[in-house]
Amino acid sequence: MTVSDSTTERPLVRERKLFLVILISLIGAVTVGVVATKEPLLAIAGSLGVLFLLVLLKWPDSVTLLVIFYIYTNLGVVAIRFHSVSPFIATTLFPSLLFIPLVLYLFLRREKLVITPVFLLLLMLGVIYTLGAAFSRDITLSLPQLTDFFVEGLLIYFLCTNIIRTPLMLKRVVWVLLISGALIGGLSLYQQVTNTFDNNYGGFAQVESAFGTGVENLQGEIAQPRLAGSIGEKNRYGQIMLMLVPLGLFQLWIYRSTGLRILALVLTGLIVVGGALSFSRGAAVGFVLMILIMVFLRYIKIYQLMLLLLGAGLILWVFPQYGLRLTSLDVIAALASPESGPALAGADNSVVDRTSLMLSALMVFRDHPVFGVGPGMVKYYTQEYARQIGISSVTGDYQAHNLFLGIAADAGLLGLICFLLILFIPLRDLARARKRWMESRPDLSYLATAFFQVLVGYMVTGLFLHLSYYRFFYLMVALAVVASRLGESDTSLELGVGRVGEGDLSIN
């Protein structure tokens, strides 16, 4: 028996849902009636809340799509920082709506719980993080990062792998992600074109720092602001937008409809431009590698590659500042050579500082190899170790600026092994799914390849950035796991607790 989409329900499910609707309505009516005698406005709000709950019960998949949009636009953090919304409402109450479809699947439809090997590894990583925090130099400093891991990492992964159960639902989630990225990217483009860098557009078009372009005018050298979208951190903005690019490109193969292909192309274009305006060198390297992999896998033909190169050239022509930023990549490459002294001498401060931070994280890992120094704690060690290295005078508490070295320093060898397996298992399963469905279900094969590219892109940018913003990364890991398991039989999913459905009503 397969798990069907929420648009086709069995009679028993409809009966249970009807009972639940009547129960909620009765409880809501009594509660609102009691409250209305003393607080009329609160009663009105309660009525609207009950109505909203009933709507969500009728269309539970809409809850999933709404929360995915909420997460990827970073709406909750923007609401807290710029609109004085309660952190409890923004970061806890609204995302907890994902429990509504979970309850529907587990208790109304009596579907089985989905427990994957990656989830078990996340539990192990959580235990390692907890031990690291307990033995860290200050557990109060490590506790916020530990909490973020369990809420934004483990919980989001668990919920998404249990409520996204069909190819149709996964495809809808992908479209919501593309719309989210295009909205933020389009706003960044408008901000750049109109030079309205002093307007953050409600927090969804933030600006962080600027760099010199080498062009002079009467006021001096022209500076180019680095746009940070709704994230508020330029390199993270570039990284998060990059993860959406393969999802957008592969819609061109998944769908035959010309209208949907054009829509995907427009959305992806806005995402690429928005990410480019972060002027992130790591994102540029990730994008180039992504295209090369697609050429190697023969998804992109030579003429299509020429069009992509033409588009990249157009971006560099419109924004020559990006070309200036990319010229420093040869310095980064030279740092890996045995004779890195001249490269360091010619590197900008950012490159030198990051090199110092990476080496510091490596030394922290050397001195704390088992459980590390605790989640998020490496930044309290880097300044001390940077002084010992002596190539940069790092002032302040900075993270490792490398995904893998940061994990090693924070969680030790055991944590690093868990994390590498969390990446390896989805990549392995996605590669298998790509081959398995290439002939019979090419749409699933394309989805698997797209999410393979998502994880690769994140790892490449992770060479320059530490793990942060757990919600974006573990959301993509969850979706990648779902994509790798779509259509599998009951026996192939047996950890004894569940399977992913194969019903699909998509346009193909």
Q: What pLDDT is recorded for position 336?
A: 46
Among residues 80, 98, 233, the alpha carbon closest in space to that of 152 is found at 98
Q: What pLDDT is recorded for position 384?
A: 82
What's the pLDDT band for 132 if we cut at 50, 70, 90? very high
Q: Which residues pair with 206 in a beta bridge?
A: 229
- pLDDT digits 0-9 by tens, 235-247: 999 999 999 999 9
Cα distances (angstroms) measured from residue 272 to each of 181, 183, 208, 227, 328: 9, 12, 19, 13, 21
Tell me if 367 is assigned to some domain: no
What is the pTM (predicted TM-score) of this model? 0.82
Asked if the model's pLDDT at residue 492 lies above 50, the reply is no
Tell me if 393 is assigned to some domain: no
Tell me if 124 is assigned to some domain: no
Number of domains in the chain: 1
Q: Which residues pair with 465 in a beta bridge?
A: none
Three-state secondary structure of 212-237: EEEEEECCEEEEEEEEEECCCCHHHH
Give the β-pairing of 206-217 and 220-229.
antiparallel
Tell me if 266 is assigned to some domain: yes
Q: Which two tokens stand for residue 412?
A: 């030790």
Tell me if 235 is assigned to some domain: yes
Tell me if 299 is assigned to some domain: yes
Q: Which residues pair with 221 in a beta bridge?
A: 216
The least confident of 93-102, 187-196, 332-341 is 332-341
Q: What pLDDT is recorded for position 316?
A: 72
- pLDDT digits 0-9 by tens, 149-181: 999 999 999 999 999 999 999 999 999 999 999
Direct distance between the N- and C-terminal alpha carbons of the chain, in angstroms, rounded to an integer: 24
Q: Which residue has the higher pLDDT, 285 or 204?
A: 204
Tell me if 450 is assigned to some domain: no
- CA–chain centroid gap for 60, Å, is 23
Cα distances (angstroms) measured from residue 236 to each of 98, 232, 272, 283, 461: 25, 8, 14, 9, 9
Tell me if 460 is assigned to some domain: no
* Lookup result for tokens 């790591």: 282
Domain containing residue 310: 164-213+222-327
